[in-house]
Each structure stands twice: as structure tokens, then as C-alpha cells.
């Protein structure tokens, strides 16, 4: 084991490597990497929900003085260099499964839309199993080397934490998230300013910025309406996971589905597949149809083209768990969107109804996703059986066991 101190060049390279690794959630499933960050600042590691970025910020004051001093320990420095090499090897390994079996996904990735992603306690933007599955899919795609882009919302209040008050009652609180202390970076324009996109909601523009998180080789984009161009109420759209009333919910889902597609187009990303993880993002179906109509196709032709490139996963085995909106709210929220599709609004409502002729039926996001995708699955064999029973009326003429 070498005992001489690291050169300034070596120190600079290691510090840069640690900062790069801390902002990639790869470390959340590598125990050796976690041990490094814990060693750098055990107190911060414990107090900041095992957050690698927060640890580095703590030890990087005064031109990385404390961090550089820690790296003068030759044994620790050797361990850091070994882990950084593992990280680099993982990120650059050419012989992945996808390289041999799905090379086309490198240029035309899978776009995976989900209202929540569960990765780690330092990034609390998930509420339950839906997010855990999304997070695991993201990690698996990274391991396989698949071209994979996740789309979600940045909830600055995260998901609620719980504590017990002086009267022994459980209470919830929302610790506001600071992007500077998280494994994410702002998506910027070439001039260095934040990239802003917009969607129309309720007849007014809603602007959003985007944060980027690396999950191994996979990329996650988080849409954030907390920008100065928006009035206060619109800045709150993405504040909390499933927060607010039904109006907030439909606004979140417009930002996620329609805004997510607009972001991908702005970044020049052209996915081969659009995967809706639950129905929250199903408004992307309307945006994909709108794009086709803008190119001269009819609504029906646009729907057919959209179906060819979209898939859907349903999670909820009870009818009450699926988002449904009344016609007045859908009409108000989408504004003049039907005009962009060049069809009567009843046609848009029909995509979200089991029976398009039933004007009293609510608009269901799951129905929109099922009608707008080429295939659908559940999260287990039993769930598939339950879902076939729930949605059999969408497939007239088919027996329950034949429902796709």
C-alpha cells in the first residue's frame, strides 16, 4: 500500500469523481460507495437521510479542504479510487444485454412515465408500490444497458414524513427539498439559463423547468412548475405527491403527460416506446395524437399511430382507485385542446369512457390509457385476472379470459 500523499492532480481527479458519483443514484445500490460517504461525515450521513450530495457539500467547504484532508489517508484514498473505478466500469461497459439484443433503443429509448419513482430515502418522491416498481425498472434498465428515459414530477415537498407529538398523536410534515442537496442537476439551455417549457391548462400557459437525475445509465427528468413566471397557485401544482384536490390532480397529470412529451421533443429525444406506469400520465395519448394531427393526419389515424407506440401497466385492482374527472373539469382543464385535435369535444371524452355514448360517465384516465396503447399488463398474475374482470366491458365480444 502506497504511503506517500496524493498529488494535487490525483486529488482533483478523485474529488471530481466523488462529485460525479454522488449525483448518480448508482451509489444507492452499492454498499462500498455508501460506506465512503458515511466515512466522510457520519453525522451528516445520519442526519440527512443518507444523502451523498449533502455529505459532499458538508466536507467541500473552503475549497474542499476537509475532503482533501480525509483523502490524505492512503487506505481510505485507495478504497475511494477502487469504488470510483467500479462506477466508471459500470457506466462505460460496452458488453451490455441491450448492446447485443436491443441496440436500436440507444437512439430511440423507452420513455417511462410515472407519477412517482422510488429510489432512496434522500429523494422522497414516491408514495408506495407504484413508485418502487418504477424505480426498480429504472435500475434494471440501467443494468441491462437499455436506452431508458423516465419522466415524472419534482415534488419539492416530497412525500410526507411522520412523527409523534407531545400528546402521542401521529402527525405528518413535509420537509421541503432543496435541489442543490439532491442527486440532480438543472436542465439548461445552451446559454446556461434554465430550460423552460410550457403547457396550456385552463386557458393559460403553465411554465415548468426540469431537473435531471442519473440512475446508473438511465436518465430521469423531473418537471417542476415552481418557477417565477407562474402565479402562486400554478407554482404549487407539483408541490406534493398526489397533493391537493381533484383540480390539482388533473393539472399534475396534464403537466406529466402532455408536458412530458413536450419536454422530450424540446430535448430532441424520440422514444420508440411510451410506457405509462398507471393512468396518471395518460394525457400523453392526447398529445401524441395532436402531433399527428398537426402533421396532417386525422384524429383516427393519429390514434392508430399512437397505439402502435404506447404500452400501459395498471396497478390498481379496485374501481375507486382510478382517477376519474367530470366532463366540466376535463373541458375546463384542457381548454381548447379539442380544437387542436380537430374533433368535437365529445370525441375526446369518448376516449376516457368505457361507453363513449354515455354522457353521464366520468372521464377515466385508465380507460384513456387502455384505449391509447397497444398492450397492457398488471403487476401480478392475480392482478391481471382482477383487471380483466374490471375492464371486460372495454372489449365487447371477448370473454373475460380473452381480455388482453
The residue among 75, 92, 109 that closes a domain is: 92
| Whether the Cβ atoms of residue 119 and residue 135 lie closer than 8 Å to each other | yes
Task: Tally Cβ neighbours within 10 Å of residue 308.
Answer: 10
Query: Do 233 and 329 have their domain in common?
Result: yes
Query: Do 68 and 150 have their domain in common?
Result: no
Round to whole Å and give the CA distance between 146 and 102: 7
Query: Do 85 and 105 have their domain in common?
Result: no
Is residue 3 in some structural domain? no
Query: Do 60 and 111 have their domain in common?
Result: no
- At 46, list the grid cell: 445520519
Query: Do 290 and 233 have their domain in common?
Result: yes
Is residue 2 in some structural domain? no
Round to whole Å and give the CA distance between 308 and 310: 6
- pLDDT value at residue 317: 78
Residue among 285, 281, 289 nearest 373 (CA): 285
Exposed/middle/buried for residue 305 (C-beta within 10 Å: 0-12, 13-18, 19+): middle
Relative orientation angle of helices 61-70 and 8-22, to the nearest 10 degrees: 100
The residue among 28, 61, 92 that closes a domain is: 92
Domain count within the chain: 2
pTM: 0.94
Q: What angle do CA 317, 322, 326 make, to 5 degrees?
A: 150
Domain CATH for 316: 3.40.50.2000
| Whether the Cβ atoms of residue 299 and residue 137 lie closer than 8 Å to each other | no
Per-residue pLDDT of the chain (404 residues; tens, 9 = 90+): 445 678 888 899 999 999 999 999 999 999 999 999 999 999 999 999 999 999 999 998 777 788 888 898 989 999 999 999 999 999 999 999 999 999 999 999 999 999 999 999 999 999 888 999 999 999 999 999 999 999 999 999 988 888 899 999 999 888 889 999 999 999 999 999 999 999 999 999 999 999 999 999 999 999 999 999 999 999 999 999 988 899 999 999 999 999 999 999 999 999 999 999 999 999 999 999 999 999 999 999 999 999 999 999 998 878 777 899 999 999 999 988 888 999 999 999 999 999 999 999 999 999 999 999 999 888 877 777 788 878 787 788 777 777 77
Is residue 199 in some structural domain? yes
Round to whole Å and give the CA distance between 331 and 338: 9
Phi, psi of 295, rounded to the nearest 5 degrees: -90, 5
Residue numbers of the domain that contains 179: 99-402
Amino acid at each position: 500500500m502506497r504511503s506517500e500523499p496524493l498529488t494535487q492532480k490525483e486529488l482533483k481527479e478523485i474529488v471530481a469523481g466523488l462529485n460525479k458519483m454522488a449525483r448518480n443514484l448508482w451509489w444507492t445500490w452499492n454498499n462500498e460507495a455508501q460506506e465512503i460517504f458515511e466515512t466522510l461525515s457520519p453525522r451528516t450521513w445520519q442526519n440527512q437521510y443518507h444523502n451523498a450530495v449533502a455529505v459532499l457539500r458538508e466536507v467541500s467547504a473552503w475549497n474542499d479542504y476537509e475532503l482533501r484532508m480525509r483523502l490524505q489517508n492512503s487506505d481510505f484514498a485507495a478504497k475511494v479510487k477502487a469504488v470510483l473505478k467500479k462506477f466508471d466500469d459500470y457506466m462505460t461497459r460496452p458488453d451490455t444485454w441491450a448492446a447485443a439484443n436491443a441496440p436500436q433503443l440507444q437512439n430511440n429509448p423507452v420513455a417511462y412515465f410515472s407519477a412517482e419513482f422510488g429510489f432512496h430515502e434522500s429523494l422522497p418522491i414516491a408514495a408506495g408500490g407504484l413508485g418502487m416498481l418504477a424505480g426498480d425498472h429504472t435500475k434494471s434498465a440501467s443494468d441491462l444497458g437499455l436506452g431508458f428515459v423516465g419522466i415524472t414530477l419534482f415534488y419539492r415537498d416530497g412525500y410526507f414524513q411522520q412523527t409523534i407529538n407531545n400528546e402521542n398523536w401521529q402527525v405528518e410534515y413535509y420537509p421541503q427539498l432543496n435541489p442543490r442537496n439532491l442527486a440532480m442537476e438543472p436542465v439548461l439551455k445552451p446559454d446556461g439559463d434554465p430550460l423552460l417549457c410550457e403547457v396550456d391548462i385552463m386557458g393559460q400557459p403553465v411554465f415548468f423547468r426540469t431537473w435531471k437525475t442519473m440512475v446508473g445509465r438511465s436518465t430521469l427528468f423531473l418537471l417542476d412548475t415552481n418557477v417565477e413566471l407562474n402565479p402562486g397557485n400554478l407554482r404549487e401544482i407539483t408541490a406534493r405527491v398526489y397533493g391537493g384536490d381533484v383540480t390539482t390532480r388533473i393539472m399534475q397529470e396534464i403537466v406529466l403527460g402532455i408536458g412530458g412529451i413536450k419536454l422530450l421533443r424540446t430535448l430532441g429525444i424520440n422514444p420508440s416506446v411510451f410506457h405509462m406506469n398507471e393512468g396518471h400520465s395518460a394525457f400523453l395519448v392526447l398529445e401524441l395524437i395532436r402531433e399527428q394531427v398537426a402533421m396532417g393526419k386525422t384524429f383516427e389515424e393519429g390514434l392508430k399511430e399512437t397505439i402502435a407506440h404506447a404500452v400501459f401497466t395498471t396497478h390498481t385492482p379496485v374501481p375507486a382507485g382510478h382517477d376519474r374527472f367530470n366532463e366540466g373539469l376535463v373541458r375546463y382543464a384542457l381548454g381548447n385542446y379539442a380544437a387542436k385535435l380537430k374533433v368535437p369535444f365529445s370525441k375526446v371524452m369518448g376516449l376516457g369512457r368505457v361507453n363513449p355514448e354515455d354522457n353521464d360517465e366520468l372521464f377515466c384516465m385508465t380507460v384513456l390509457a387502455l384505449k391509447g396503447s397497444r398492450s397492457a399488463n398488471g403487476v401480478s398474475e392475480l392482478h391481471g385476472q382482477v383487471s380483466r374482470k374490471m375492464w371486460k366491458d372495454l372489449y365487447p365480444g371477448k370473454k373475460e379470459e380473452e381480455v388482453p
